[in-house]
Amino acid sequence: MNLKLQWLKNKMLSLNLQGMIISNPTNIKYLTNIEAEGTLIITPKENIYITDGRYIEYVHSILTLFDEIIVYNVNDISKEDYENFFMFCENIGFEENYISYATYKEYIRKFKINNFVETEHIIEKQRMIKDEEELSNIIKACNITDECFKYIISYIKPGMTEKQIAKEIDEYYTERTDGISFETIVASGENSSKPHAVPSNRKIQNQDIITIDMGCKVNGYCSDMTRTIFVGEPTEEMKKVYDLVLNNQKFALDQYKEGCSTRQVTKLVENDFKLNGHDLIHSLGHGVGLEIHEPPYISYRNDAQLKENMVVTDEPGIYIPGKFGVRIEDTVQITKFGCISLTKSEKNYIII
């Protein structure tokens, strides 16, 4: 059996679960490498992946004997099959955050489940700690992001639209990677005051500030980086906000290490923003892996501790509605005594 499934079977044993239904597609990709629509079922007898006709051929091309997973076409499974999967099982785990209320009810009926047990993100928790292969993929994605950023600051000229710049980034990634890890943000001028701006037809002008939030995927693993750059000399107000964001971004990097409290580091950044008359309106960071946003979430609402080989972002931002915004973000690997920036692009004023 593959190592990740073996880990899961051991974990289930320790939780007294005789079976489990895995619905989160990212968890299925993590455990099996399959990216399709389907459900992974761990029974006492066998591991089963249930999908439909569209994916059968693809799934067989991904799995190896080593995975020990039997593939079923959902249309070939009888009422009796469903009832047999978990026969004589007491406790069956499920992903309470990844099945709808309707599916929850359907499963209990269809599988005749005795005791359906919430598993509280057991797989997501394991996914927070990256192994060597996962780290290697993320590092590749971050390196290509640095290269793409270097290219894009030489490419941007006044008169280009935000959409055109975003498209250039997307193409750079498409040619070299599995593609973008989220919708590229290029937000210029007053658009930069929206943390979640969508690239528009606004043209880059002199004296603009431009926030670029970008990332790609390598073998399914993501990178995430934001830089805020200037077209021509920034105003004193822009500089002041930029310096405040950058100082706090660096301060947080200094705190990031095994044992760091995510709530505390966020509070410290928030306090410094408040002291300077600004708010931290989103979280300070998030885990990065198969998903662009995954646990741990670094915010004051969530008290997690950073651990070795977590990969997280550090991305404070300040947004002044109708005027401008600044966000600076790196993807970093947590170590026992600090953190390693995996994205390494320039963070001092970049003026084009």
Pick from 29, 228, 234, 30: which is nearest to 130 by CA?
Answer: 30
Q: Does 97 bind its own copies (CB under 8 A)?
A: yes
Q: Does 16 bind its own copies (CB under 8 A)?
A: no
Pick between residue 147 and residue 279 the one whose CB is nearest to its own copies. Answer: 279
Q: Is the peptide bond before 296 cis (omega within 30 degrees of 0)?
A: yes
We find the least distance from the C-beta atom of residue 349 to its own copies, in angstroms, to be: 26
Burial of 216 (0-12, 13-18, 19+ CB in 10 A): buried
Q: Is 239 left (phi over 0), alpha (psi -120 to 50) or beta?
A: alpha
Treating both helix axes as pointing N-terminal to C-terminal, what angle do 262-275 and 236-255 enclose, rounded to 10 degrees? Answer: 160
Q: Does 173 bind its own copies (CB under 8 A)?
A: no
We find the least distance from the C-beta atom of residue 274 to its own copies, in angstroms, to be: 15
Pick between residue 118 and residue 147 the one whose CB is nearest to its own copies. Answer: 118
Pick from 300, 299, 298, 326: which is nearest to 312 by CA?
Answer: 298
Pick between residue 130 and residue 286 the one whose CB is nearest to its own copies. Answer: 286
Strand segments, DSSP code E, in 290-342 are 294-298, 311-314, 317-320, 324-327, 330-334, 339-341
Strand order in the sheet with 115-118: 69-73, 47-51, 39-42, 19-22, 91-94, 115-118
Tell which one of 46, 68, 90, 118 touches its own copies (CB under 8 A).
118
Q: Does 94 bind its own copies (CB under 8 A)?
A: yes
Rg for the chain (alpha carbons), in Å? 23
In angstroms, the CA 205 to CA 159 distance is 6
We find the least distance from the C-beta atom of residue 185 to its own copies, in angstroms, to be: 11
Tell which one of 125, 176, 194, 344 touches its own copies (CB under 8 A).
194
Q: Does 96 bind its own copies (CB under 8 A)?
A: yes
* Part of the chain binding its own copies (CB under 8 A), chosen from 95-103, 215-223, 260-268, 344-352: 95-103
Site residues for its own copies, 253-282, by CB under 8 A, read: 281-282
Tell which one of 14, 78, 100, 154 touches its own copies (CB under 8 A).
100
We find the least distance from the C-beta atom of residue 104 to its own copies, in angstroms, to be: 4
E strand or H helix that includes residue 199: none
Contact 39, 22 (CB under 8 A): yes
* Part of the chain binding its own copies (CB under 8 A), chosen from 10-18, 26-34, 194-202, 228-236: 194-202
* Part of the chain binding its own copies (CB under 8 A), chosen from 38-46, 93-101, 209-217, 243-251: 93-101
Tell which one of 7, 82, 104, 349 touches its own copies (CB under 8 A).
104
Q: Does 33 bind its own copies (CB under 8 A)?
A: no
Tell which one of 30, 55, 221, 273 touches its own copies (CB under 8 A).
55
Instruction: Report angle CA 197, 235, 276 to the nearest 5 degrees.
Output: 75
Q: Is 2 left (phi over 0), alpha (psi -120 to 50) or beta?
A: beta
Query: Distances from the Cα of 44 to the Cαs of 12, 17, 77, 259, in angstroms?
Result: 11, 10, 18, 37
Pick between residue 194 and residue 202 the one whose CB is nearest to its own copies. Answer: 194
Pick between residue 64 and residue 100 the one whose CB is nearest to its own copies. Answer: 100
Q: Coil, strand or helix: which one is 298? A: strand
Tell which one of 79, 88, 101, 275 touches its own copies (CB under 8 A).
101
In angstroms, the CA 214 to CA 240 distance is 24
Q: Write each residue from 303 to 342 as x if it is in contact with its own copies (CB under 8 A), else as -, in one continuous string.
A: ------------------x---------------------
Interface with its own copies by CB under 8 A: which residues?
A: 36, 52-55, 57-58, 94, 96-105, 118, 163, 167, 171, 174, 193-196, 281-282, 321
